[in-house]
């Protein structure tokens, strides 16, 4: 099967994929609520880490658990648990990121039957010299807890293998992103997003095979569409592939991104160290920071701008989930830094479902403005 179709299939049938994997391997499946969950440790324990995402359907059953002031993503994710769609999970892990999604974790723990739950203290003060040694210990405890759950120890070899598989995955996705710098990117933004989300749902070794196949095919892939305006998507949690697809039907292509289902998830690799936990911890400390971890110095802005420049971005869609205060802090400085660099931005606020009619009008006007600027 065409790798892109395979990604699409896994994303569409994510629960079936996980259940089949479980049956096929006899392994356990662990859900994660944040990209700071160190998946490679779960993988090393012989388990399948899957990212828990929403379904973008309206539902009100979360009202009894999470107040309406919390972000739509965290409510949509909890709804999936309450609906029993993740009933195959053997465990749920969260790494401290923001108050909103912690609500999802706590409510899932309290109201969705699940045997194993684990809340990792991911430091927010990643710029402190104490965060790496601390996280190293935190990850070592996590490894031991997983070993207990698995009923077998997690060896150095297991960790090395997981690190290798994960680093390969990151490297291959980086290579594909690199191809998107071309004047005519061989892959659309929607396809790239599908690829990254599939990576968050699949056994990485299988995903790597598909990536290798895709890398071989992409140079000869005939792109039967105009690239149009080169866009970048920047913001908080984003797995609304349909939105990306609809925008790309309007004479535009997302050529790069900076959000939780894109570069922020896979951008950096683990640099080997004798202490494997320290090596993994360093990767999570040094990865492109998400806003609540970007202090006292702001480092995110320069990372985002550099990507935009390297990918020759003509316009940026800045988005956030409604009520997402961590990202709300970053929207004005992002607007400013792009304005200072003559890159126009359009800001959109997302709910569980997308008001496409309204968005379409604004996006079309934005694209027209970009065209005009280019002329």
Among 9, 19, 22, 109, binds another protein (CB under 8 A): 109
When asked if residue 98 is in the footprint of ligand SF4 (CB under 6 A), the reply is yes
Query: Which is nearer to another protein, 2 or 63 (by Cβ)?
Result: 63
Spatial contact of 198 and 176, defined as CB atoms under 8 Å apart: no
Interacting positions 44-83 with ligand SF4 (CB under 6 A):
71, 73-74
CA distance 335 to 203: 37
What are the helix (H) ranges across the chain? 3-12, 14-25, 39-44, 72-82, 99-111, 131-150, 156-179, 189-201, 204-217, 241-248, 263-266, 276-286, 300-310, 325-328, 331-340, 356-374
Candidates 50, 51, 13, 9; CA nearest to 28 is: 50
Select the binding partner of residue 237 from ligand SF4, another protein, none (C-beta < 5 to 8 A, by kind).
ligand SF4
Spatial contact of 333 and 248, defined as CB atoms under 8 Å apart: no
How many residues touch ligand SF4 under the rule CB under 6 A: the total is 12
When asked if residue 326 is in the footprint of ligand SF4 (CB under 6 A), the reply is yes
The H or E element containing residue 117 is strand 116-120
Which residue in the block uniquely carries the two structure tokens 């003509």?
Answer: 314
CA distance 229 to 80: 35
Interacting positions 274-303 with another protein (CB under 8 A):
291-292, 295-296, 298
Q: Which stretch binds ligand SF4 (CB under 6 A): 51-59, 93-101, 112-120, 177-185?
A: 93-101
Among 41, 331, 337, 370, binds another protein (CB under 8 A): 331
Q: What residues line the site for another protein (CB under 8 A)?
A: 64-67, 69-70, 96-100, 102-103, 105-107, 109-110, 117-119, 121, 123-125, 128-131, 134, 137-138, 141, 145, 291-292, 295-296, 298, 322-323, 325-326, 328-329, 331-332, 335
Q: What residues line the site for ligand SF4 (CB under 6 A)?
A: 71, 73-74, 98, 100-101, 236-237, 321, 324, 326-327
């Amino acid at each position: 099967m065409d790798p892109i179709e395979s990604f699409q299939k896994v994303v569409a049938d994510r629960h079936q994929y996980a259940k089949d994997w479980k049956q096929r391997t006899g392994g356990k499946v662990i859900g994660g609520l944040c990209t700071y969950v160190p998946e490679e440790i779960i993988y090393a324990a012989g388990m399948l880490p899957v990212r828990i995402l929403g379904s973008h359907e309206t539902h009100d059953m979360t009202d009894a658990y999470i107040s309406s002031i919390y972000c739509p993503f965290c409510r949509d994710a909890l709804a999936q648990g309450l609906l029993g769609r993740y009933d195959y999970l053997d465990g749920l892990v969260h790494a401290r990121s923001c108050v909103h999604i912690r609500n999802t974790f706590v409510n899932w723990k309290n109201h969705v039957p699940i045997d194993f739950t684990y809340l990792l203290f991911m430091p927010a003060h990643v710029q402190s010299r104490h965060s790496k040694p601390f996280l190293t210990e935190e990850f070592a405890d996590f490894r031991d807890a997983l070993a207990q759950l698995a009923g077998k120890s997690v060896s150095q070899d297991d960790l090395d293998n997981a690190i290798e598989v994960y680093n390969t995955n990151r490297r291959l996705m980086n290579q594909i992103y690199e191809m998107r710098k071309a004047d005519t990117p061989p892959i659309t933004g929607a396809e790239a997003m599908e690829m990254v989300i599939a990576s968050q749902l699949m056994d990485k070794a299988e995903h790597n095979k598909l990536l290798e196949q895709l890398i071989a095919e992409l140079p000869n892939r005939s792109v039967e569409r105009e690239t149009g305006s080169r866009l970048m998507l920047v913001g908080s949690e984003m797995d609304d592939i349909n939105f990306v697809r609809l925008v790309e039907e309007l004479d535009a292509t997302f050529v790069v991104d900076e959000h939780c289902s894109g570069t922020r998830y896979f951008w950096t690799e683990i640099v080997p160290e004798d202490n494997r936990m320290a090596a993994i911890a360093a990767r999570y400390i040094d990865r492109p920071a998400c806003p609540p971890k970007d202090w006292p110095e702001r480092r995110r802005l320069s990372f985002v701008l550099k990507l935009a420049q390297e990918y020759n971005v003509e316009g940026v869609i800045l988005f956030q989930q409604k009520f997402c205060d961590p990202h709300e802090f970053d929207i004005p400085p992002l607007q400013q830094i792009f304005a200072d660099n003559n890159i126009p931005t359009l800001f959109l606020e997302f709910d569980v479902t997308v008001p496409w009619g309204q968005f379409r009008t604004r996006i079309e006007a934005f694209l027209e403005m970009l065209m005009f600027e280019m002329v």
